[in-house]
Amino acid sequence: MPRNAAEPSNWRTYLVTQESVSNGRSTLEIVREAIAGGIDVVQLREKETDARWRHELGLELRELTAEAGVDLIVNDRVDIAEAIDADGVHVGQSDLPVAVARDLLGPEAIVGCSAATVEQAHEAEAAGADYLGVGTIYGTTSKDVAEYKDGVGPERVAEIADAVSIPVVGIGGITAENAGPVVEAGAVGVSVISEITAAPDPRAATESLAEAVETAKGVGDGEGTE
Amino acid sequence: MPRNAAEPSNWRTYLVTQESVSNGRSTLEIVREAIAGGIDVVQLREKETDARWRHELGLELRELTAEAGVDLIVNDRVDIAEAIDADGVHVGQSDLPVAVARDLLGPEAIVGCSAATVEQAHEAEAAGADYLGVGTIYGTTSKDVAEYKDGVGPERVAEIADAVSIPVVGIGGITAENAGPVVEAGAVGVSVISEITAAPDPRAATESLAEAVETAKGVGDGEGTE
């Protein structure tokens, strides 16, 4: 299934699509801008929309992402992932189990799983997940780095990254301003909806996010900030 | 994929599951009773529940229905149908297109489609549907046969059954009391949720529905009522 040996360990910036927060712009337009800004992977999510619409959008996203060498993942629906030849799926704790998705998609596809606890992370890894989406990191959308009320916080990323050997992506309330601690805690990258989708300039927002991740990686590797 | 050459033209009674209207009984319990009452096909629907739950329920339904030689169809989710080895899927106008479901499941699986108009019926047949669910027949749940305010009525079944060569099942507001005209109009059978699921005795309700269909078929074939 994978078009170009998609590899989660290379994901720095991960866009989850949701047209409803795009201020009237289409998801295609947002994804085009994110690609121009260097996004590494796009997840077709669009919760609250029907499968017919998501399938049509997915075919267009596949074309865009394939041209750009960007990975494409489908949230929840293994059938849509198969139908649009996505690189894989991302399942949550109430979606099809990781092992079922793996069985349907085969060994080459990427199967990602949401994990909020170390136990869920262990279970997903044992079932064959290729990466974990850990969160919600920041429970608020506050720009204040120190504030993550109702979120699991970067500390949970550190716990989970220590506990498993597959890549971890932080998710939930992440911005260019607060991405650093998530990456320093051990995430390979960060996943966002609003930070890119609701931004006045989604391309610039993607670039800023990528820069924040790279800067934090420098810190994490002990090479100092760039 | 089909376990026993499931054949929509043999379907007289078709149960669509929805635990939320079962008055506290489990879908498994309702399906067991429906099987005892002679149901021909069960569709796993359970809208408003998550995929993980539906997958687990589907595995149990597959076991029950396979033992009984009853066909099992999954609503909307082609991936769940594949995962539980169902006989096929039923897609609506906002689900994955018939042709996509067919492509994913292969030529042997049953693919059904909802159609409210002759145009939708033609389109579904051309795309490879094996049967049509036509409705909503009766827009109210009134027991009065003559009343189907806001429904397409048995007349639409007649129009569609004349227009296509695949079997038609009536759906929406159908009871043992008002099933007759639907079958006389050309439906091979009738599909229900509440008539069986909300019944005090789901087994007896299934038997009554089957009897109503058989009686109408007698009339339709010009053999008189039984």
Q: Find the chain B residues whose C-beta atoms sit closer than 8 A to any C-beta of A.
A: 50-53, 55, 76-80, 82-83, 93-97, 100-101, 103-104
Catalytic hit among A62, A77, A114, A203: A114
For residue A148, what pLDDT band results from cuts at 50, 70 and 90? low
| pLDDT at residue A162 is higher than 60 | yes
In angstroms, what separates the C-alpha of A53 from chain B's closest C-alpha?
A: 7
d(CA B93, CA B91): 7
- Highest average pLDDT, of A4-8, A150-154, B46-50, B70-74, comes from B70-74
A90-137 pLDDT tens trace: 999 999 999 999 999 999 999 999 999 999 999 999 999 999 999 999
Asked about A77 being catalytic, the answer comes back as: no
In a domain, A1, yes or no: no
pLDDT on residue A221: 56
In angstroms, what separates the C-alpha of A82 from chain B's closest C-alpha?
A: 8
pLDDT on residue A150: 80
Give me the amino acid identity at A199: A
Nearest to A79 among B50, B52, B77 (CB): B77
Burial of A95 (0-12, 13-18, 19+ CB in 10 A): buried
Q: Which residue has the tokens 């300039």?
A: A201
For residue A3, what pLDDT band results from cuts at 50, 70 and 90? very low
Nearest to A50 among B78, B82, B94 (CB): B94
Total domains in chain B come to 1
* HEC readout, B85-141: CCCEEEECCCCCCHHHHHHHHCCCCEEEEEECCHHHHHHHHHCCCCEEEEECCCCCC
pLDDT on residue B224: 44
Contact A53 B104 (CB under 8 A): no
The answer to whether the beta carbons of residues A176 and A202 sit under 8 Å apart is: no
Q: What residue numbers of A does the annotated binding site cover?
A: 43-47, 75-76, 95, 114, 140-143, 173, 193-194
- CA-nearest residue to B105 within chain A is A79
d(CA A168, CA A154): 11
In angstroms, what separates the C-alpha of A85 from chain B's closest C-alpha?
A: 11
In a domain, B16, yes or no: yes
Answer yes or no: is the ipTM higher than 0.90.
yes
Q: Which residue has the tokens 């930070």?
A: A195
d(CA B98, CA A215): 48
Contact B53 A79 (CB under 8 A): no
Contact B96 A50 (CB under 8 A): no
Write out the catalytic residue numbers of B: 45, 114, 143
pLDDT on residue B147: 54
In a domain, B5, yes or no: no
pLDDT on residue B150: 80
Nearest to B51 among A55, A83, A95 (CB): A95
Contact B51 A94 (CB under 8 A): yes
Catalytic hit among A9, A20, A143, A149: A143
Residue B95 neighbours by CB distance under 10 Å: 22
Contact A79 B97 (CB under 8 A): no
Give me the amino acid identity at B132: L
Contact A95 B50 (CB under 8 A): yes
The answer to whether the beta carbons of residues B196 and B202 sit under 8 Å apart is: yes
- CA-nearest residue to A56 within chain B is B96
In angstroms, what separates the C-alpha of B5 from chain A's closest C-alpha?
A: 23
Burial of A154 (0-12, 13-18, 19+ CB in 10 A): buried
Q: Which residue has the tokens 């109408």?
A: B216
Residues of A in contact with B53 (CB under 8 A): 94
The answer to whether the beta carbons of residues A124 and A167 sit under 8 Å apart is: no
In a domain, A226, yes or no: no
In a domain, A225, yes or no: no
Specify which residues A114 forms β-bridges with.
A133
| Residue, of A205 and B147, whose pLDDT is higher | A205
pLDDT on residue B1: 41
Mean pLDDT of A197-221: 93
Asked about A143 being catalytic, the answer comes back as: yes
In a domain, A19, yes or no: yes
Contact A77 B77 (CB under 8 A): yes
Q: In CATH, what number is assigned to the domain containing residue B214?
A: 3.20.20.70
Spell out, as residue ranges, where chain B has pLDDT lower than 70. 1-5, 140-149, 220-226
For residue B24, the enclosing domain spans: 11-219
In angstroms, what separates the C-alpha of A103 from chain B's closest C-alpha?
A: 8
Nearest to B104 among A83, A97, A103 (CB): A83
Contact A100 B55 (CB under 8 A): yes
Residue A191 neighbours by CB distance under 10 Å: 26
pLDDT on residue B139: 82
In a domain, B48, yes or no: yes
Contact B78 A79 (CB under 8 A): yes
pLDDT on residue A220: 52
In a domain, B226, yes or no: no
Judge if the upstream peptide bond of residue B136 is cis by omega within 30 degrees of 0. yes
d(CA B215, CA B209): 10
- CA-nearest residue to B49 within chain A is A94
d(CA A111, CA A90): 6
